Chains A and B, each alone.
Chain A
Amino acid sequence: MSQDVVADRIAKEIAENPVMLYMKGTAMFPQCGFSARVVQILSHMNVPFATANVLEDPELRDGIKQFSQWPTIPQLYVKGEFVGGCDIITEMYQTGELTSLMAENGIAHSVAA
């Protein structure tokens, strides 16, 4: 797949999936601690989300880093906007910003206990 084909695929995926997580492994079997933590946070908030396993697709693994100008995985997108990696999502979860981000975007979630 050429660079723009990957970029087009990403653009389509983040448009079609309100909450899209590019990760190592799958939600059921995360293969990296940082990816697992973001899955855990989203699951704890009962947020429905789609995932893509960059370990299965080396071109996606590089393409996503170009797309967001962000060098690491996982990467979380909400309503087509890049939100951040594990650190930022964890910090936003702890401060409640993630809950308000979901609310502002009309995304179903349960209020973090």
Chain B
Amino acid sequence: MAMTANAIENLIRAAIPDARVTVEDLAGDGDHYAATVVSEQFRGLTRLKQHQMIYAALQGRMGGELHALALQTSAPE
């Protein structure tokens, strides 16, 4: 069962309310996406921790329903 870009955005925003999120469908098949997430909560965190926050927001769907999510995360400039 694939996911929509909207569903991904909503899950990330629910967990990280101040996040600016853009989600791009890479393959049109509902399970290969790229997402850019900018949030103050990432400041001072390693890239690894930032990505782990996103995976937590997706509540276990990563690697299951969602096969691939290329992530670009950062704190606001």
Contacts and interface: CB of A to CB of B under 8 A. Distances in A.
B68 A34 contact: yes
A85 B71 CA distance: 10
Interface in B19-77: 47-48, 51-52, 55, 60, 62-64, 68, 70-72
B48 A71 contact: no
Given A84-B47, A87-B71, A88-B47, A69 B52 contact: yes
A88 B62 contact: no
Nearest to A92: B47
A84 B68 contact: no
Contact of A71 (B47, B60, B70): B60
Contacts of B55: 70-71
Contacts of A88: 47-48, 51
Interface residues of B, number: 13
A87 B60 CA distance: 19
Nearest to B62: A71
A72 B47 contact: no
Contacts of B72: 87
Nearest to B60: A71
A82 B48 contact: yes
Interface in A64-113: 65, 69-73, 82-85, 87-88, 91-92
Contacts of B52: 69-70
B67 to A, nearest CB: 9
A111 to B, nearest CB: 22
Interface of B: 47-48, 51-52, 55, 60, 62-64, 68, 70-72
13 contacts: A69-B52, A70-B55, A71-B55, A71-B63, A73-B63, A84-B48, A84-B51, A87-B70, A87-B71, A87-B72, A88-B47, A88-B48, A92-B47
